[in-house]
Chain A
Amino acid sequence: EAQVTQNPRYLITVTGKKLTVTCSQNMNHEYMSWYRQDPGLGLRQIYYSMNVEVTDKGDVPEGYKVSRKEKRNFPLILESPSPNQTSLYFCASSQDGSGANVLTFGAGSRLTVL
């Protein structure tokens, strides 16, 4: 089944404890992206990647890192999480990110930082 898989789905952590949210897609998509969703703010893009080894900042990149060493994986790294990073995170992918292709989303990762 074509899908985007995120892990963990739920995580409670404490301020400053590094964590990684993994994202993997099995559709050979070139484009991958991370979004965060907060009440009243909608979806905001954190980082995106056009292809392997190519990443770029979205609208809210502060406090996050990403890497794209393989086409299928696009992990989101929070080096020193803070409470304002408590949010619902979505990974998404598409064929080439041109906008004419649709995004396939993961099921989401709900992160709470205490």
Chain B
Amino acid sequence: SQQGEEDPQALSIQEGENATMNCSYKTSINNLQWYRQNSGRGLVHLILIRSNEREKHSGRLRVTLDTSKKSSSLLITASRAADTASYFCATSSGAGSYQLTFGKGTKLSVIP
């Protein structure tokens, strides 16, 4: 069953601009992860944020988590054409926390 839902479904920006993608989920989580997928290829893990964390950074990526609103955001600063990809949030929740449930993704296009 789908837990996370990304917004927007698609985003187009100019190189150098910042890109923000959001993820909302329905039930309490243990942690939330963001993955990236280049067209038709395997997903690559970007960052994991635990339910007791509010913000995390990795290079040009900044992830925030608001458990009261059941939402997370992924910010990519100073975007590059190579950032063009689909971005997925994935949540882990409940007693069977080995289940990682993915959203449908945000398709980001960075125009050179």
- Chain A contact residues, CB within 8 Å of chain B: 4, 31, 33, 35, 40-45, 48, 50, 58-59, 88, 90, 92, 96-100, 102-108, 110
Contacts and interface: CB of A to CB of B under 8 A. Distances in A.
Nearest to A100: B31
Contact of B48 (A4, A43, A100, A106): A100
B104 A42 contact: yes
Contact of B1 (A59, A98, A104): A59
Interface in B28-45: 30-31, 33, 35, 40-45
Contacts of A58: 99
Interface in B1-60: 1-2, 30-31, 33, 35, 40-45, 48, 50
Nearest to A41: B104
Contacts of B45: 102-104
B43 A31 contact: no
A102 B41 contact: no
B20 to A, nearest CB: 20
A114 to B, nearest CB: 20
A102 B2 contact: no
